[in-house]
Structure 1
């Protein structure tokens, strides 16, 4: 007779196998660690493709049910390494939304990355690195849909339909295109039309909310516009997505070398950013050389003292201390000493993330298996939307 532990393990195994078969994904394609991850996670939090996950019926007489959950979609390009600005401005917020129990769908948007030239071998490696980074930061593949965009063909197919509803004039006014094309002699068509693909990404999953930076607001407005155009032409199909913009300094972390500019993966000088893969020595060296000013006191003034204020923003985001509390704590310290304090805080916060990232990248089969599972879950949702679009447009009966 099986003991209690063996029986529980057997139950988890059967549940995991049933879920993978339901997704059309044989359990055999997953690595042993990925099988363990799936089997251990599924029984307590079942996947659902058409509504809120794991909804439990309240007993009669209990409190009113919670309000409907948001369906949230967001994506990140796999170019470069995640840095502290990405972490504060996007990924940590994604984790918070996941923990709040919303339906969350996150994509490594590799199709967007090839709007500019990429080395194929490097791009493939960066896709895995980005997926591992997101998981290491707290995105849970059992609770969120995490997938590689190009693995779900409906993105490109739906992109064509929406492209046929978009005008050149509408795309030409978008500021991102003007900014990115300014330094190019020949502008790739993909760079011009990628906001349409972005709209397809969002609408395929009938997202209600999209976390974005201020520079992407007009792209979400385009997605809402195309949803209205499609609904008016073919009948009610899509909800209008809403942008989620976080208006605080942590979402706009500044370059360590040019603190008047945003921290960026594309800046040529790697000393300008703290990357999640940086060693403690690298973090210390970058922060010691961070550009500040000639005033020794530590206080927050982003207009007059952007460099020191940027360091205080990091400190605030990682500890929860207010700027006044940081100033009081640093009374008597000069900016050189303060840089060492901030370095200690950053190093300790990133240590477990870097360790988990290293562990994930050491088992590529496990990582690929998690992306296989994510792609199957995403495709189950996208295929349903695409089938409805095909019928309404007249591409199928």
Structure 2
């Protein structure tokens, strides 16, 4: 991807999309979820199975959706925990990746910065290797069905489910309780809408996001029970399930990259210190300085999976991923190293890995028309799927349909 020209990248694989037949796909009774080969290395899910069968045709591909908020700079945790893994999925699955700008307004934000960050995040998706001939890339707010589906799902969501969400408890406390926006409570419904809107089979998530996937699964099943089956058929629909029940897809390595200043806390955009994270667009000198200053311990040698050494495990895991080495190779290489020897090694590996991404990012952002076309085409593609889902749900919920013959 990093060496592909802009003119080539802007050519969407329209023939591939047209033969998928998505405008009518969800008007038919869905087939039960069946095991599918998971050929992207380093992923696991409860319904994957190894097989020697050839790759499925586009129409038979399972669908994966995922997104990242545009608030703050995209950092190493976003990249290794999400975006890098997307690249491994796009050959095996039909993929939709979007910038979740609607989620970015649940807390106070800068309006000018939101616009810029949305554009920058989209450019970084592409610079990191997301290939628009295989994946749809778009901005969440450009597909209005996200907001409408959230409202429809909200009518079936018990408020007790939302009050139990861990992130709501944490963030509302920081915002001062009663001063917190309603959106902070209800945004998990929007996240569920993001997933079920596209009839997703799998959702790549870190371990800390599994609670949100469970909510999406519970909501999808609840709506299926309330409005699907024979009740929907009596209203003129096809009957059966309205939504697929999505499965989490969790990378075995790099699912949760921790802070450089605290090995027990996740690397985060919202952390007050920029020293706690490596941003994808950090300069070489800044990366080297952050690694030099990052928190370590006083134990001899380096090792994985020691609960007393969270920072050591985190830094070795990062090195393993960006160097492309196996865990066993890293253990053998680093077991007798001191921090003074390992930190420059890690910094060099990070710089080497991120440098092509930074170069590609500069090329993409220099061509605004190209990026706008990518996002417009991606939104059009996503809208086709989303509108079919919304049509079915409106019908099943008993709304008087536009141009209805009743």
Fold shared by both chains (TM-score > 0.5): yes
Q: Deviations over 1:243-287 (max 9, x none)?
A: 122344x21222111122111111111111111101111111111
Kept in 1: contact 2:198–2:386 (CA 8 A): yes
Match of 1:91 in 2: 83
How far has the Cα of 1:188 moved from its partner? Answer: 0.6
Match of 1:200 in 2: 193
How far has the Cα of 1:99 moved from its partner? Answer: 2.3
Q: Deviations over 1:332-387 (max 9, x none)?
A: 64211210011111111111011111111122221112111111111111112112
1:267 aligns with 2:271: yes
Name the one with the larger helix percent: 1
Q: What is the distance in 2 between the residues matched to 1:104 and 1:368?
A: 19
Q: 1:191 aligns with which of 151, 163, 184?
A: 184
> Is there any run of 5+ residues in structure 2 with no aligned partner, and where?
26-52, 229-240
Match of 1:253 in 2: 257
Match of 2:73 in 1: 81
Q: What is the distance in 1 between the residues matched to 2:17 and 2:190?
A: 30
Q: 1:113 aligns with which of 104, 110, 114?
A: 104
Q: What is the distance in 1 between the residues matched to 2:192 and 2:297?
A: 43
Kept in 2: contact 1:217–1:243 (CA 8 A): yes
Q: Choose 1 or 2 for highest CA Rg.
A: 1
1:72 aligns with 2:43: no
How high is the TM-score relative to the length of structure 2?
0.81
Q: 1:392 aligns with which of 382, 389, 396?
A: 396
Q: Deviations over 1:286-331 (max 9, x none)?
A: 1111111233533335422222332211111122434453343346
How far has the Cα of 1:36 moved from its partner? Answer: 5.3
> Is there any run of 5+ residues in structure 1 with no aligned partner, and where?
1-32, 52-62
Comparing 252-261 and 115-124, the one that deviates more: 252-261
Q: Deviations over 1:164-219 (max 9, x none)?
A: 11111121111121121121121110010111111111111111111112222222
Q: 1:210 aligns with which of 186, 203, 206?
A: 203
Structure 1 residues 43 and 73: alpha-carbon distance in aligned structure 2, compared to 1, 3 A threshold: closer
Q: How many residues align?
A: 351
Match of 1:314 in 2: 318
Q: What is the distance in 2 between the residues matched to 1:34 and 1:335?
A: 41
- 1:1-397 counterparts in 2 under 5 A? 37-39=9-11, 41-42=12-13, 45-47=16-18, 48=20, 50=22, 66=56, 68-100=60-92, 102-185=93-176, 186-235=179-228, 236-248=241-253, 250-330=254-334, 333-395=337-399, 396=401, 397=404
How high is the TM-score relative to the length of structure 1?
0.83
Q: What is the distance in 1 between the residues matched to 2:335 and 2:165?
A: 46
Kept in 2: contact 1:70–1:103 (CA 8 A): yes
